[in-house]
């Protein structure tokens, strides 16, 4: 992805890649902190360490390249410039040549309130993201999404599917830079997008497969949607499986438009839902605005009976700041 950005002029953070521990550490010392250290591979959403101090950055290099805590995903690392701003997620469907933008969303990666603690696969999300104005969405399409599609074609790798751009809206310039790409809808962003989508998704996906995205459009509900993730105690570290989750049906009835997504559950021999993963439930709701969606989602969370579960209590705080 970084090479593609370099070649086709797509704005992204400055970076270098390393396979040698000593070279990586020297680069970190030269650059200073804060700095970002990434495993160059899939690491269950945990392969990014935003090091605020030099010591944290050097430890991250040791963990990934030295101790191989992420296995083969950490056999090569990327050390990136630390960008200051607000993150947002931008999605587009791609048919190889055309791109159809979806609505924006904003994820909450850190495990703790106030965006503290280690990164996770996502502790909650909402849509739309106020930071991504219509003007900025146009800039993202023109400077990031469309050059990527054309670059993929030029490289002989025509892409058809979902393009999920993780963005940083820089505080200094107010412009977007690409942090990462995924080729999926994203979790938990997918939940809030599907809560708001009013079009027939299957028809649009088929149009993408046929190269006919320029013939379709998407309809979205007004207002906002939010999802709060309930996770097993200990996540993103070691966590206990098999704990019983009760009152899910009651939780889904506490407010209009509440929907509970099962991300990491199973059913035990007596018919109880039990936790079977780190991120276990996505408690979602729609509302006239972010505030109402948040109120409904957290009312449903409060109704779930799961003593071994935890959740962030501040999902949507950035959006509420924009409203204020």
| Domain of residue 17, residue span | 2-81
pLDDT single digits (tens) 152-203:
999 999 999 999 999 999 998 999 999 989 999 989 999 999 999 999 999 9
pLDDT at 207: 97
Q: Is the pLDDT of residue 35 over 90?
A: yes
Domain end call among 215, 239, 257? 215
Beta bridge partners of 232: 309
pLDDT of 323 reads 60
Residue at which a domain ends, from 28, 59, 81: 81
**Is the domain of 206 the same as that of 96?**
yes
Element (H, E) at 59: helix 54-61
Same-domain check for residues 117 and 186: yes
- Evaluate if residue 46 carries a pLDDT over 80: no
Asked whether the predicted pLDDT for residue 324 surpasses 60, the reply is no
Is the pLDDT score of 309 beyond 70? yes
DSSP 36: E
What would the two tokens of residue 247 be?
A: 């009152």
Pair 191, 259 in one domain: no
> Is 153 in the same domain as 274?
no
Query: How many whole angstroms separate alpha carbon 160 and alpha carbon 97?
Result: 9
Q: Using a pLDDT cut of 90, give the percent of the chain over it.
A: 85
| Residue finishing a domain among 59, 81, 103 | 81
Q: How far apart are CA 211 and CA 296, in angstroms?
A: 39
Rounded Cα distance between 220 and 103, Å, is: 8
Note whether 188 and 231 are same-domain residues: no
Clarify whether residues 102 and 204 are in a common domain.
yes
Cα–Cα dist 240/317, whole Å: 29
Domain of 22, CATH number, reads 3.30.1490.20
Query: Does 209 share its domain with 235?
Result: no
Give the model confidence (pLDDT) of 113-155 as tens digits. 999 998 898 999 999 998 899 999 999 999 999 999 999 999 9
| pLDDT(214) > 90 | yes
Let me know whether 75 and 89 are in one domain: no
Give the count of domains, the chain: 3
**Which CATH number covers residue 154?**
3.30.470.20
Residues 172 and 256 in one domain: no
Mean pLDDT over 59-85 rounds to: 88
- Asked whether residue 77 falls in the same domain as residue 91, the answer is no
pLDDT at residue 317, as a whole number:
87
Other C-beta atoms lying within 10 Å of the C-beta of residue 134: 8
Do 178 and 271 fall into the same domain? no
Q: How far apart are CA 182 and CA 219, in angstroms?
A: 23
Residues 18-37, mean pLDDT to the nearest whole number:
95
| pLDDT above 90 for 75 | no
237 and 194 inside one domain:
no
CATH code (residue 288): 3.90.600.10
């Amino acid at each position: 992805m970084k090479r593609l950005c370099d070649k086709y002029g797509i704005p992204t953070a400055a970076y270098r890649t390393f396979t040698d521990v000593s070279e990586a550490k020297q680069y970190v010392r030269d650059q200073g902190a804060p700095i970002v250290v990434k495993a160059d591979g899939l690491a269950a959403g945990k392969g990014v360490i935003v090091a605020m101090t030099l010591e944290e950055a050097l430890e991250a290099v040791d963990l990934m390249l030295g101790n191989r805590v992420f296995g083969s995903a950490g056999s090569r690392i990327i050390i990136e410039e630390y960008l200051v701003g607000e993150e947002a997620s931008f999605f587009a469907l791609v048919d190889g040549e055309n791109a159809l933008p979806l609505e924006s969303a904003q994820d909450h990666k850190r495990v703790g309130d106030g965006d503290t603690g280690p990164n996770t696969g996502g502790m909650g999300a909402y849509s739309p993201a106020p930071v991504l104005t219509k003007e900025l969405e146009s800039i993202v399409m023109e400077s990031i999404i469309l050059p990527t599609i054309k670059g993929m074609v030029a490289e002989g790798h025509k892409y058809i599917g979902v393009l999920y751009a993780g963005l940083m809206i820089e505080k200094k310039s107010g412009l977007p830079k690409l942090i990462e790409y995924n080729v999926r809808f994203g979790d938990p962003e997918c939940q809030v997008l599907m809560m708001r989508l009013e079009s027939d998704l299957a028809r649009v996906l088929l149009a993408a497969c046929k190269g006919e995205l320029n013939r379709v459009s998407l309809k979205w509900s007004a207002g906002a949607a939010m999802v709060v993730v309930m996770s097993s105690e200990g996540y993103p570290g070691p966590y206990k499986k098999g704990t019983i989750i009760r009152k899910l049906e009651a939780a889904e009835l506490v407010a209009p438009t509440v929907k509970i997504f099962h991300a990491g559950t199973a059913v035990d021999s007596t018919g109880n839902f039990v936790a079977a993963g780190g991120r276990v439930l996505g408690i979602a709701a729609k509302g006239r605005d972010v505030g109402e969606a948040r109120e409904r989602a957290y009312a449903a969370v409060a109704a779930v009976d799961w003593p071994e579960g935890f959740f962030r209590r501040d999902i949507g705080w950035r959006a509420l700041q924009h409203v204020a």
